[in-house]
Each structure stands twice: as C-alpha cells, then as structure tokens.
Chains A and B, each alone.
Chain A
Amino acid sequence: MSGVRVLVGTRKGAFVLSSDAGRAKWEVSGPHFAGWEVYHLKGSPVDPNRIYASQSSGWFGQLLQRSDDGGKTWAPVGNKFEYEGVPGTHKWYDGTPHPWEFKRVWHLEPSLSDPDTVYAGVEDAALFRTTDGGNTWHELAGLRQHGTGSEWQPGAGGMGLHTILIDPTNPNRIYIAISAAGAFRSDDGGVSWKAINKGLVSQYIPDPDAEVGHCVHRMTLHPSRPDVLFMQKHWDVMRSDNAGDLWTEVSGDLPTDFGFPIEVHAHEPETIYVVPIKSDSEHFPIDGQLRVYRSRTGGNSWTPLTNGLPQSNCYVNVLREAMAVDRLDSCGVYFGTTGGQVYVSPDSGDTWQAIVHDLPAVVSVEVQTLP
C-alpha cells in the first residue's frame, strides 16, 4: 500500500513522520541529530531510501548525513565545502565589501536520475555538487563568479542559496534563488548562469528593477510544465511563463503578498499555495488567523483555506522551506510552523489537521510519496 514519509527539519533536530495513503494515522520518529539545526532533508527521487540531511551548529559547524534505509539510520558523509579559487567579496549589510565565508548548507537537491548526485545550496551563497553520494563536494563556481556576485547582499537571515529546481525534461537546465540576490538559471548543467529577474520590482533596493538584489524567498515549478515558474518574493507573488525570462505579478487579491513558501499542486499545474504573513518584521499571520491561500488560476484569484487551522491567537511563521506536496491521487499539502506544528491536508487544502503539535521550530518540510 502506498504511503508518505514527511521529512521535517527543525531548530533542534530532524523528525520523520510516516503514514499510509490515508494520511490520518502517523508514526513519528526522532529527534535525529538532537540539538543540531537541521535546515533541510530530502530524499532521492530515484531511490527513496536514500535521504540526505543538512545538520549544523553554531558550535560545531556543518555536517552532512546520509541514510540508505529511509531515515532509520544515518551516517556522516563529507562536510568540506571550499569555494573555488579566491573567494573575493560580496556586499555586507552596510554595503561594504565582505569576504565570502562558508556558513552552512541551506538546501539539498538530489538529482532526478542518480542517487549519488546531489546539489547543495549554501550560505554564503554558492552552489555545490557531489557525484559520490556526499563524500566530496565541489563548487559550481560559475554561479558565484557570475558578473554580479560582488553586488550580492545578505537578507536578514543571511545570504543563502535556498531554491534549487532541476528541469525534469532537461537536466542541464537548473534554476536557483538566493536571498537577497534573486533568481538565476543555467542551461548547461550549472557551468554558466544568467540572472532571471526581469519584471521583479523591489522598493527596498536603490534601483527597484535592478538585475540583482531582489529578495526571492522561494520558487517552485510543476514537472509537467517546467518553463512555468512561481515565486514568493519578499513582497509580491510572481509567475513566469518563459523559464524566468520575464516575471509578472500574480498577488491579486491576497490580503498581503508577503510570505515565504510557495508550492504547486501535484496534479493541477495552475493550482498554487502560499501562506500570507504580516510584515514588516512581525512575520506572523494577519489577525492571528493561520490561513493558507490557494489559487486555482495560477495566481491573481486566491481563496483562504482555514478548515482545521487555528483562526485565533496564532502567531507563528511558516518558513520558506517548510511547505511541500505529496503525489498521491488526492494531493496532500503539508507545512510546518515556527511553533512546532506540522499540518497536513490530504484533500488539496480543503481540510487540515496537525500531525504533530510541539516540535521545535520547523525549518523545512519535504514529502516522499512511497510506492
């Protein structure tokens, strides 16, 4: 019988939540790597038992862990991330040059065809790749050495590369996004890159439509239409119908267009989900009502989803990596909060229930749909 495995990264460890296709009864394992920040875990699409996890600590630095048995046991793999060549500088918060310094791995994106190949998005922003199951990592330096690299600047959470999307029809096409540099695309497997930020407008930078400097929070795509991209920016929900060459705003009737995650339905390429959050700096739901918004029209027209979600006194946040969908016939939607709840909707967002209530603050949520 098919089922799902939800991989949850938190500020104090990782958890694995498992259920059959009913998604009503859950088993919880963890904490794995207790006490460590786990920014992200993700399984190989080719071999679901192969899972990679990013484990980090302010004291002890970065570790990478690998499981070959679906998250039951783990073993450390390589954790040496060296920028290629002389790293140079990017801009610091005050605009002065600041040396590139590796801090942590924000995102792990396993290859669509090889369980030993994984891309890693790191802070300070760069893209690394392993082709030996995580034992060694090498930078795809064309991104950081893109002509604008010296102009990139961190967001409040650091200068992290947080989104990696691989085109399922063309593995040489890779999209990435960086806070707060923007979105970039490679058409040659990561060797060379171009900024794809035309159409983005950000009032918090001197030139609102500059080539780089936009604080992209998250991007997603549907595998059946990899040229169509959706983006949650630091204000503005955007879409592109031409692989990022041009973006248009689709915030439409959202109560606020600020938020962090964005996801697309597994079977409906025009159905997308966001979690509007109040900003500046409050970063909690409007009026204490936790609401996922769904658009069935690829944006512009949005409907609040509230059934099963707290509608009073709720002041949690939902971070950029903390939303995912499964691929069961009735698409499941999942998200985790900084209050430690992980919610599931087994019916595309119509109804919600908490799988767990009291985990440490949730940083990331990924879902594996198991045969």
Chain B
Amino acid sequence: MIRVVMPFHLRNLAGVGGEVLLDVEGPITRASVLDALEERYPMLRGTIRDQTTQVRRPFLRFFACELDLSDELADTPLPQPVQDGTEPFLIVGAIAGG
C-alpha cells in the first residue's frame, strides 16, 4: 500500500484524519498515486494539480525520503521505500501567506 500524507486543508476536505493508504495499480509514480488519490477522493480534483494540464499547483510540493520530487516528471517512479510502503509520499503546502 502506498502511504500519502496531505496538508490539513486537504485532509479536511477529503474527510480523512491522517495518512491515506492507497492501492495503486501499475508503476508507482506521482501521476499514478495522484490518479488513485483523486479516484478515491474526487473532491481533491483540482486542488493538487490542474484538472486539465495536470500541472502541480505552484504553492504545493511533493517530498519523499528527504527528497524534493516536485520537479520530477510525473511518470518517474517514486523512490523504492515509497513503493514498498515504508516511507510516505508527502504533499506539502508552502509555508507562506497571511
């Protein structure tokens, strides 16, 4: 199972309390993980990436295994510990704003 951690407002919107566990089919990439996340929680569509272009929203970033994966291609395989479920895939909001 793939572990996903979202910012407070997205957890709140999706109605989940903590980590989300996803069963992702096929290659474990950012695209496939986000596809699975949005499939289970359709209210998240458009909040993490543009619904048409799939481009990451500018004030969000993707971290895992102490790496910033935000600018990796969407179809790049995620680190093995994420694929194994030993490390979470982190969706992080910028610490900014009033």
Contacts and interface: CB of A to CB of B under 8 A. Distances in A.
Task: Answer whether A and B are interacting partners.
Answer: yes
Contacts of A79: 45-46, 51
Interface residues of B, number: 17
A35 B46 contact: no
Nearest to A12: B98
Given A36-B9, A76-B13, A61 B57 contact: yes
A59 B13 contact: no
Secondary structure call for the B interface: loop
A82 B60 CA distance: 21
Interface in B1-57: 7, 9-10, 13, 43, 45-48, 51-52, 57
A353 interface: no
B32 to A, nearest CB: 21
Contacts of B94: 59
Contacts of A62: 46
A10 to B, nearest CB: 13
A63 B43 CA distance: 8
A157 interface: no
Nearest to B98: A11
B93 interface: yes
Contacts of B51: 79-80
Nearest to B8: A35
Interface string A29-61: 000000110000000000000000000011111
A82 B94 CA distance: 26
A59 B45 contact: no
Given A57-B9, A59-B93, A76-B13, 13 more contacts: A35-B9, A58-B97, A59-B9, A60-B9, A60-B13, A60-B47, A60-B48, A60-B60, A60-B93, A61-B47, A61-B57, A63-B43, A82-B52
Complex A-B, nearest 8 residue pairs according to Cβ-Cβ distance, in ascending order = A60-B47, A76-B43, A59-B59, A59-B93, A79-B46, A80-B51, A61-B46, A61-B47
